[in-house]
Structure 1
Amino acid sequence: MGVLALSTLSGCLKEYQELNTNPELLGETDPRFVFTGATENFNNSSRNHLMAKYSGVMQMMQYLVNYQGAQEGVYVNPQSTNRPNPFTPYYSDYYAQIGLRLRYLREKVIPSNAEAERFQNLSAIAGILETYEAWLVFDVNGAAPYTEAFKVSEGIGKPRYDFYQEGLDGSPLYKEFDAKVKEYIGILQSNLPNQYDLGSSDFFYKGNVDNWIRFANTLRIKMAQRLELADATFYNDVLSEVLANPGGLISNNEQSCVYNHPNEYNNNTDDMHILTYQYAASRAFVNFMKEYDDPRLPLLVRRNGFGFGNNNEINDGITELLEQHYPDYQTRFPEFSERYFGMSSNPDSTSTLWSGTTYFTLPYTEGGVDKTLTVRHNSQIESRFYVKNGGKVGTQVTARDKEDATYDVSQNSISIFTPLITYSETCFMMAEIAFKSGSAKGGKDALTWYQEGIRASMQQYQTWAEKMAVPSAMNSNSDNYNPITSVKIDNYLSQTEFQTVSLEKIISQQWVNLFMRPEEAWATWKRTGLPAFKDQPIPEAGVAFLEAITTGGNSLVIPRRGALPVPNDANIDNFNSALERLTQDPNYGDMNNKTEGRIWWDRFLN
């Protein structure tokens, strides 16, 4: 990624320069179409994005584990010179597409349009998304060209780097991000006359301006919350200001900001089928949901093979053999027979029979011949949330690893989606804010926000599961038809553990909720140190734990930042200057690749 990002920037700047000097393009292009192109497949535009999410941040945050056992290379080993570089799409997407094209839209296409005044709402919405993406770049990398980016037409071909805490003009860049979003909210709230509606050109909100205002207000709080320990005054000022804004926050699931990909996106899953079988659900993730009979569990995790009813006839056949030759298997292997059993995320556990592979091999004798049967004892993540039909085709995946073809639906009837900020995430964010303040915020106290977040999350995942044709959620013929209902949610919330609130409980629920947004779970962990680690990730009093990670008995570390991507030779001097400044901060680390180091805002001591 590192070499690609700014090399791609160089190529895109040439494209940008050509567009700027082509008056025919400027005169004839509908700004709404440019918006659609600029936001196409937002932060999920390639198979590499998804593959890297599974192999990186989803393992780091212990949603899943490689099917051959926990991988040491996912984590930082302080005894080694090698460091993982967690992939997030923000840097490459900002410079290759989102930032480049949204700035072009706002600075060139709209001003050149004969009806420019009628596209001011569109310009503000584009500005919100461009700022959001730029913020994500700095959130993970700490520095990047921003002030001077995309200015080839102005004679700036070698952009200098801004820093999260300080832009090129010396003022805090994070305050500039907030000020821009605030300005765009003001434009949208000013009720400008005769504005063109984005409508179907908007794959987020279908042009609903009120929802864009809610998203932007919520984004302001989200960005400020990152700085709770770095600039508490700014954090509190933004919070007070936003909560007084009449536009409000995201306040129900329908207002969640979610990019809905075109139906044809990701139809060909030929090289993505490995997601179906090469990863198992983690012990930490399964344990927390199983402990409290979480109705999300059968939607997010598939049953293992120690019994019938995992939507796969071949596995049922294996269970028949298991019953025949191991009639006591349910008492002999009680944990596996509970049907939901996660894999250890601890690399030191890979030598154990139940964490070195997802299949458990058992010997038996038939007709005087010694044989073996293999039973999937670790549960799989339900990959339908990320891949159509969970991976429909491919030569590596076996029939045992996926749900039967009877559960396939038309590829064209499924639309992949990418969440940005959801209502449930907003609820947990506000629950944390209210809990820390000791008073109600946004009209609700911490417990109310917390419980509402749990309810909204469960309702949201049921809706998403139906959308993605998850059999347990929407197919009554499924072996494990188990949709989330209001009764199940009420029963969950009635448990003693969820009648009181704590920071640990809030973040535990946020962690589960962010299954579809694991990058934000990573940021939340950096910001709060939660979920905390424990040798055995067994929940306590409604609190989830990550599993302690070691190799040879020595502790491993979750990376805390990305390595700053290396540009092409043309801009290497500015890169080196930026890196020299970054590495002057001992918290960042003395080398770019020391990804256990911290970006400026990352102040929590964990």
Structure 2
Amino acid sequence: MKNVNKWGLGVAVAGMMLTACTKNFEDINKNPQVSQDVPPEMLITQSEKGIVDRDFDWFYDAYTYQLQWMQFGVAAPGSSPTGLFSPTNTNDFYNAFYKGIGRNLVEMEAVVAKKAEAERGQYGNVLAIAKILKVYSAWRASDANGSMPYTNAFQSRSDANFTPTYDTQEKMFPIWETELKAAITTLQSGLTGQASPGNAEIFYSGDINKWVKAANVLRIKLAMRQLKRTPDKATAIITDAMAVKNGLFESNAEEWKFISADQSFARAGNWAMDNNPLSASKNMLDYMYDNSDPRLGIFYEKNSYTKELVDSLVKGGVFPSMQYNERRYFGLPASPDRRSVKADTVIFNVKRYKMTFNGKDVTRTLDTVSAVQRRLFDLDAENGNNNGARYTQPILSYAEQCFMLAELAVRGIISGTAATYYNNGVEASIKAYDDMGREAKIRDYAPLDAAAITKYLANDAIALTGSTDVQLEKINIQNFLNLFKSPWEAWGAWKRSGIPKVGGILPFEPMQVAGQTVVIPRRWALPQPTIANQANWRNAITEMQQTGEYGNADNDFTGRVWWDKK
């Protein structure tokens, strides 16, 4: 693993940012980093940077575990899946929330509070945006951890509180709902004379109308996380969110995402899959290939077997005379045990062919199977043209909103036509990935043919038809595929819906190790704080264990946090 971390925002505010890392809650009270003369609206950049500049998370959480657990990818031929179900060096977003993201957002509030009373009013919108960012980041940290310090997590500097208590998810979800509603109210209240962060705010450049929509769609997403635990409260939130004027995304142009501003972001180092090479999983690739999914070439690379190459192997005497197979997308079985099955071993081996070509002895190494599309994650991959390539990271997409509304319509929780929501979601997802492919300058990328979307939606296997259960499965398959570029979100969506599933429309392959079926992990181990706060940490674990689903061991990764109810 290579520790390279590059950032390219094109925003010249580095000298104004909070950059010190803190390992412990005590450190938050030491060495203030921000001058009171710094414009508060400029302090938002570092927290937003912390949300998307996650190369360490990509290397460990995503490449090593989540993409493989969710069967988007499989350890490539010649590599090993050892330790796949015993995660280590993961869950850094939880620490990042306390070290930088949340801490910096709280500092913004402190800086504003120390301004003269006549000046404070101009920061209402900026602080509302900061609140949305804080809720999102806290929820993302909690989603696979459960209880965490929130209500008094950042009081060390103000109140010398070095032992914050842990709030349960049952307590935090209502708090987050209140904070998001308050932020929306502020942003829609028509405040005048407001300071704007401009381009220092890397998602929407301070556009309050888009932030209203992002916050409101986030309310719906968080409510859906709670449907199994508190269905009545969740339904009430969803109903209220649907009534917010101009509160939903209307296109991909409004969704919450990050696109790098220059060419120094997401290049090599931890962004690369060099040390964790991933091939396509067979079930996922076959489902996309068989249904002519227009996203196939953005998710996966073609294998090495071009017609010219096969012809040269035939000419070199390696292959007999043969008819060329036009299909160049093939995947590997996801289960680790399949690597030792005699019938499968050939596809898990690296292919090296020795031949005499043009009078010379040569050895060629070829990929029989398709790799996960590396350039979508690392702009230095493929040795392609890097000129103008840009990295995209979705946070909360228009397509995901459409799929949530489609599901809610099928369940009878909201009005509207489920098929319309669903079709809009599929089209939005395909177009969004088309944009990502073009921005990343994927090698030999073929632009989207609009007719392909119409054909895809007309496919019986894709069209929103069938029983209620079948419709819910189709919706959640499409939502799952849409979250390919955010595997932590795909993991959460799979836990919430149970889709893809074994024997389903998109078959989820049972994972086996040494003949035993393995349960896919569902949570991280709650990080231990310093000794001073370990009593509160232990109390939090004991409290979560009372549901009977968290697991008896701290590192029982197959246990469930509060919202993830069976």
Q: Tell me the TM-score normalized by structure 1.
A: 0.82
For 1:142 and 1:270, locate their aligned partners in 2 and report how far apart those are by CA, in whole Å.
Answer: 31
Mapped partners of 1:182, 1:196: distance in 2: 21
- Counterparts of 2:331 and 2:142 in 1: how far apart (Å)? 34
Q: Which aligned pairs between 1:70-469 and structure 2 lie closer than 5 A?
A: 71=81, 73-75=83-85, 83-84=86-87, 87-106=90-109, 108-114=110-116, 115-153=119-157, 154-165=159-170, 172-263=171-262, 265-266=264-265, 268-270=267-269, 272-275=271-274, 278-308=277-307, 317=309, 320-322=312-314, 324-325=316-317, 326-330=319-323, 338-351=327-340, 352-357=344-349, 359-361=350-352, 374-390=365-381, 402=382, 405=383, 407-410=384-387, 413-437=388-412, 441=415, 444-469=416-441
56-65 or 219-228: bigger deviation: 56-65
CA deviations 1:42-90 (Å, max 9, x no partner) are: 2433445444311111111111111136725223xxxxxxx43583443
Contact 2:316 2:357 in 1 (8 A): no
Check whether the contact 1:280–1:379 (CA below 8 A) recurs between aligned residues.
Answer: yes
Superposed CA offset, 1:233-274 (max 9, x none)? 111100110001103212210011012345254365256544
Distance 1:244 1:271 in 2: 43
**C-alpha contact 1:69 1:355 (8 A) present in aligned 2:** no
In the alignment of these two chains, the number of paired residues is 534
Q: Quote the residue 2:13 is aligned against.
A: none
The match for 2:472 among 503, 520, 534 is: 503
Per-residue CA deviations over 1:93-122 (Å, capped at 9, x if unaligned) read 21011111101112x112223422111100
SS of the residue corresponding to residue 418 of structure 1 reads strand
Which letter maps to 1:14?
A: D
Structure 2 distance, partners of 1:564, 1:202, is 31
Tell me the CA shift for residue 345 of structure 1. Answer: 0.7
1:174–1:362 CA distance, 2 compared to 1 (3 A): same
Q: Is the 8 A contact 1:16 1:104 kept in 2?
A: no
| 201 and 223 in structure 1: CA distance in 2 versus 1, 3 angstrom threshold | same
Determine the C-alpha separation between the residues in 2 that align with 1:120 and 1:330. Answer: 68
Percentage identity across aligned positions?
Answer: 28
Answer yes or no: is the 8 Å Cα contact 1:285–1:512 preserved in 2: no
Distance 1:323 1:204 in 2: 54
Who is 2:481 aligned against? 512
Q: For the structure 1 residues 356 and 531, does the alpha-carbon distance in structure 2 shift closer, same or farther, using more than 3 Å as the test?
A: same
1:586 aligns with 2:548: yes
1:338-387: CA deviation from partner (whole Å, max 9, x where unpaired): 21001111111112234424x33457688999997543111011111111
Q: Alpha-carbon deviation of 1:319?
A: 5.6
1:163 and 1:268 map into 2 onto residues whose CA distance is 38
The amino acid that maps onto 1:229 is K
- What are the Cα deviations for residues 550-589 of structure 1, in whole angstroms up to 9, with x where unaligned? 1233211110111000112222222222222223332111
State the alpha-carbon separation in 1 of the partners of residues 352 and 273 from structure 2.
21
RMSD of the TM alignment (CA)? 2.7
**For the structure 1 residues 512 and 156, does the alpha-carbon distance in structure 2 shift closer, same or farther, using more than 3 Å as the test?**
same
Cα contact 2:406–2:421 (8 A) shared by 1: yes
Match in the other structure for 2:31: 18
Paired with 1:70 and 1:30, the residues of 2 have a C-alpha distance of: 50
**Counterpart selection for 1:490 from 441, 448, 454:** 454
Deviation of 1:417 after TM superposition, in Å, equals 2.9
Which residue is 1:394 aligned to?
none
CA drift of 1:544 comes to: 1.3
Kept in 2: contact 1:583–1:592 (CA 8 A): no
Structure 1 residues 500 and 418: alpha-carbon distance in aligned structure 2, compared to 1, 3 A threshold: closer
- After TM superposition, give the deviation of residue 222 of structure 1 in Å: 0.1
Whole-angstrom distance in 2 between the partners of 1:26 and 1:509: 47
Instruction: Tell whether the 8 Å contact from 1:42 to 1:418 is kept in structure 2 after alignment.
Output: no
Deviations 1:178-201 (A, max 9, x none): 111111111101011111222101
Matched AA of 2:162: G
TM-score by length of 2: 0.88
How far apart are the structure 2 equivalents of 1:41 and 1:414? 21
1:61 and 1:362 map into 2 onto residues whose CA distance is 33
Mark the CA change 1:156 to 1:273 in structure 2 (over 3 Å): closer, same or farther.
Answer: closer
For residues 502-527 of structure 1, the C-alpha deviation after alignment (integer angstroms, 9 at most, x for no partner) is 11111111121111111111111111
Give the whole-Å Cα distance in 2 for the aligned partners of 1:86 and 1:175.
31
Distance in 1 between the 2:547 and 2:285 partners? 38
Partner residue of 1:37 out of 43, 46, 52: 46
Instruction: For 2:391 and 2:439, locate their aligned partners in 1 and report how far apart those are by CA, in whole Å.
Output: 9
Task: Report the secondary structure of 1:530's partner residue.
Answer: coil
Q: Is contact 1:86–1:559 with CA below 8 Å preserved after alignment?
A: no
Provide the C-alpha distance between the structure 2 equivalents of 1:561 and 1:415, rounded to a whole number of angstroms.
Answer: 32
Q: Is the 8 A contact 2:71 2:284 kept in 1?
A: yes
Alpha-carbon contact 2:75-2:276 (below 8 Å) kept: no
CA distance in 2, matches of 1:277, 1:133: 27
Stretch of structure 1 that moved more, 553-562 or 493-502: 493-502
- Residue 160 of structure 1 and its aligned partner are, at CA, apart by 1.6
> What letter corresponds to residue 376 of structure 2 in structure 1?
F
What letter is aligned with 1:58? L
5+ long unaligned stretches in structure 2: 1-19, 466-470
Secondary structure at 2:478's aligned position in 1?
A: helix
| 2: CA distance, partners of 1:43 / 1:271 | 14
Is this contact kept in 1: 2:123–2:194, CA < 8 A? yes
Give me the whole-angstrom Cα distance separating, in 1, the residues matched to 2:352 and 2:380: 28
